Structure 1
Amino acid sequence: MNFSYTFPALRGIQAGREFYTVMCPLRLIPKIFLFDEDEIPVEHRAQRLMNRSRIPDITNYILENPKDYIFSSLTASVDGTMRFKEASDEMKDIGQLTISLDSKFLINDGQHRRAAIEEALRISPELGDETISVVFFHDLGLTRSQQMFSDLNRHAVNTTSSIGILYDHRDQLSLITKSLISGIPLLERYTDREKVSLSKNSPKLFALNHVFNTTSRLINKRKGEIISEQEKEFVTEFWEHLCVSIPEWQEVIKKKLSPRELRIQSIVAHGIFLESLGIVGYYLYRYHPDEWQSYIKKLKNIDWSRENKEDWQGRAYSNTGRINKNGETIQLTANLIKSKIALPLTEQEQKIESKFKEASLNG
């Protein structure tokens, strides 16, 4: 190997095969992994094609958090000559890994991180001296790369969106949501901070992601966006007023009704109800900024019972009685809430409503 890369490395063994972990400067990542995976026949491709829409988010994460971003290791197959030189007889698994320059490198895990690193380096070249760990597997002919990708992802379990919100200490919307839950007794006591949906026997009323999604709808802001002080104040006041305007919730906090019983009896213990109110709240924020509280008080007079099929069947739940939360049913539920508290529908909302009523008549 006349021309090669050389890295300080740790050697390990899995399934009887050697593999190597190296610390690689970020500036080398785009240079090493030049192999265009789009040109690889699908039968030899290690991963699905790259979803390029993910790259800007990862790039911004690096650039916006230069003091505390964190990346896990890249994992790659190497089709080429590799040689490990032990540091000494006493430290046989510490040494130098040399890889020929004409080797082909194929990422098994981390292709989006690699692309984001390349983009970040174009904007902040000084990041090039920082490092990322890379795990290299020797794979002549890249014959094992697909199975490696499958095995690496076989037991992966994505965290719930609620856990993602709970652990996010940068995003303003996540921070506001957690502040609401900590500061409002009903939310603090009856919000499950880990699950995204509640079982019928759960002692909680809400899931954290439901509160997050509702708050997002209230001010029409998404994760990562800047939130003004005025918007923060509105969100807090809205939730405070809402929590005392739903009699059924007050029954729960007074221990006169259990969350399980409320979930069976009413739509107010389900995420579709909360997110529908988020839509209503945003309309009030835009068009009734000085009198929205009076509209929220009217919620006390609405029959939220699941026995009220005339109102909620086909909107909040299906003909079988199962809660059916999706974009359309959330909007249909919000439409009816708006009409019950004397708010007009927007042009788009009216189109959805007309389509629903036409389908109901034909059904």
Structure 2
Amino acid sequence: MGSPSPSQLVDTATSSGFEYIFPAIRGVQAGREFYVSMCPLRLIPKIFLFDEDELTPEVRAQRVLNKGRLPALTRYIIDNPDNYVFSALTASVDGEMHFEGIADTGVGMRAGQIRIPMAARFLINDGQHRRAAIEQALKENPDLGEETIAVVFFHDSGLARCQQMFADLNRHAVRPPRSIGVLYDHRDDLAIIARLLAMRCPVFKGHVEMESSTLAQRSRKLFTLSSVYSATQSLLQGLEIKKEKAQELAEQFWEAVDEVIPEWDLVRRRELAAAEVRRDYIHTHGIALHAIGRIGNTLLRSSEAPKVWKPKLIRLKSVDWSRTNSDWEGRALIGGRVSKSHQNLTLTVNYLRQRMKLRLSPEEQRVEDAYLRGDA
């Protein structure tokens, strides 16, 4: 057998007679052989299966497909045809797999092709949502069918082994902190705005934790990037303005907020420690920033001109942000600890609206009435 080029290997991932032939690299884990290959997207929906929804959990090898995740995954592929990225699928093959190396010795023993009978069953161990999204994306853009995705093939050793593989593959999966997701996201305009605020805006520069979404007790930072993102997202919600204008407006707004919260400036001057401010006040916490952003959105909707909304923002000076202010208990605090629930966010927004003499929305009024009745 000659040594095929990488492009030739990819081209062989088609059906031949009664077999599928995939280019592959052979490996060994825990004493078991497995194979890594490239599979055209057009074949993914045809040969890779996942357990039927009607089966009970104990006889399935995979969780039930969450169809609510599919639209976002599908749009991700369709909207980013030039730079989408999908990690490898992992599949168990219930059937024979015959590996043919391109050489009998050396490195060539590990590279070659695998032959799998068409009658074999391919069961997804990891990547069922990616598989389903690929299927949907192909319906909208069939040209994607010639692109490829990495697939890791294992021998199917029975239900118990497949279930264990699923458990092991997901056992140590950790979702990255939201802050680092914002830091590395170059598609989301709001993520770009949040990063620029954190790096350039005098209010935030040097005082934003860019990677973690929580702050260590002794951290010298005041804010997290994820909280700046969420707050600015609320601030700009529904405003139909260009990105450059949005960036400028966000900087103007947070600089105006900075003028009515003196502790932020004291930290920049090193007259107060960031840890002390976070301990004694709530205005650096995500729920407070988010609530301020919501208030700002109301002001900006009335007018984007700073000369109109900026004087109204001065009313925030009347807010006692200290944790010792009993008004926060049940709103931003539960048992003295900051709560990030949607209800507590709304109650915090309500409190700020009342201090600023702004009207509550019907939904905010409903939550406020329940709180005052003691139902919250």
Q: TM-score, normalised by structure 2?
A: 0.89
Work out which of the residue numbers 279, 284, 293 in structure 2 matches 1:264. Answer: 279
Which shows bigger deviation, 287-296 or 87-96? 287-296
Q: Distance in 1 between matches of 2:55 and 2:324?
A: 58
Q: Distance in 2 between matches of 1:141 and 1:40?
A: 16
Q: Distance in 2 between matches of 1:102 and 1:189?
A: 60
Aligned counterpart, 1:89: 104
Aligned counterpart, 2:161: 144
Aligned counterpart, 1:38: 53
Aligned counterpart, 2:266: 251
Work out which of the residue numbers 63, 77, 81 in structure 2 matches 1:48. Answer: 63
Q: Distance in 2 between matches of 1:126 and 1:339?
A: 56
Can you list the C-alpha shifts for 1:290-324, whole angstroms capped at 9, x where unaligned? 42111112222322222221x22221212x32122
Any conservation in 1 of the 2:93–2:155 contact (CA below 8 Å)? Answer: yes
Q: Distance in 2 between matches of 1:249 and 1:85?
A: 66
Work out which of the residue numbers 19, 42, 47 in structure 1 matches 2:34. Answer: 19
- The alpha carbon displacement at 1:3 in A equals 0.8
- The alpha carbon displacement at 1:229 in A equals 5.3
Any conservation in 2 of the 1:11–1:94 contact (CA below 8 Å)? Answer: yes
2:116 pairs with 1:73: no
Aligned counterpart, 2:144: 127
Which shows bigger deviation, 285-294 or 70-79? 285-294
- The alpha carbon displacement at 1:226 in A equals 9.0
Q: Distance in 1 between matches of 2:281 and 2:358?
A: 23
Q: Does the C-alpha gap of structure 1 residues 16 and 227 become closer, same or farther in structure 2, counting only changes over 3 Å?
A: farther
The amino acid across from 1:344 in the alignment is R
Q: Distance in 1 between matches of 2:153 and 2:27?
A: 10
| SS of equivalent residue, structure 1 residue 189 | coil
The amino acid across from 2:120 in the alignment is S
Give structure 2 stretches of 5+ with no counterpart.
1-15
Q: Distance in 2 between matches of 1:216 and 1:156?
A: 28
Q: Distance in 1 between matches of 2:338 and 2:24?
A: 54
Work out which of the residue numbers 349, 352, 373 in structure 2 matches 1:334. Answer: 349
Can you list the C-alpha shifts for 1:107-165, whole angstroms capped at 9, x where unaligned? 11111111111111111111111111100001144441100011111122210111111
Any conservation in 1 of the 2:353–2:360 contact (CA below 8 Å)? Answer: yes
Q: TM-score, normalised by structure 1?
A: 0.92
Can you list the C-alpha shifts for 1:3-46, whole angstroms capped at 9, x where unaligned? 11011111111111110111111111111114553254432322
Any conservation in 2 of the 1:221–1:227 contact (CA below 8 Å)? Answer: no
- The alpha carbon displacement at 1:213 in A equals 0.7
Q: Distance in 2 between matches of 1:83 and 1:348?
A: 63
Give structure 1 stretches of 5+ with no counterpart.
none
Q: Does the C-alpha gap of structure 1 residues 73 and 271 become closer, same or farther in structure 2, counting only changes over 3 Å?
A: same
Q: Distance in 2 between matches of 1:226 and 1:134?
A: 43
Work out which of the residue numbers 96, 99, 106 in structure 1 matches 2:116. Answer: 99
Which shows bigger deviation, 232-241 or 146-155? 232-241
2:222 pairs with 1:208: no
The amino acid across from 1:172 in the alignment is D
Q: Distance in 2 between matches of 1:50 and 1:274?
A: 36
Q: Distance in 1 between matches of 2:198 and 2:66?
A: 35
Q: Distance in 2 between matches of 1:123 and 1:62?
A: 10
Any conservation in 1 of the 2:189–2:243 contact (CA below 8 Å)? Answer: no
The amino acid across from 1:246 in the alignment is I
Q: Distance in 2 between matches of 1:35 and 1:48?
A: 9
Aligned counterpart, 2:13: none
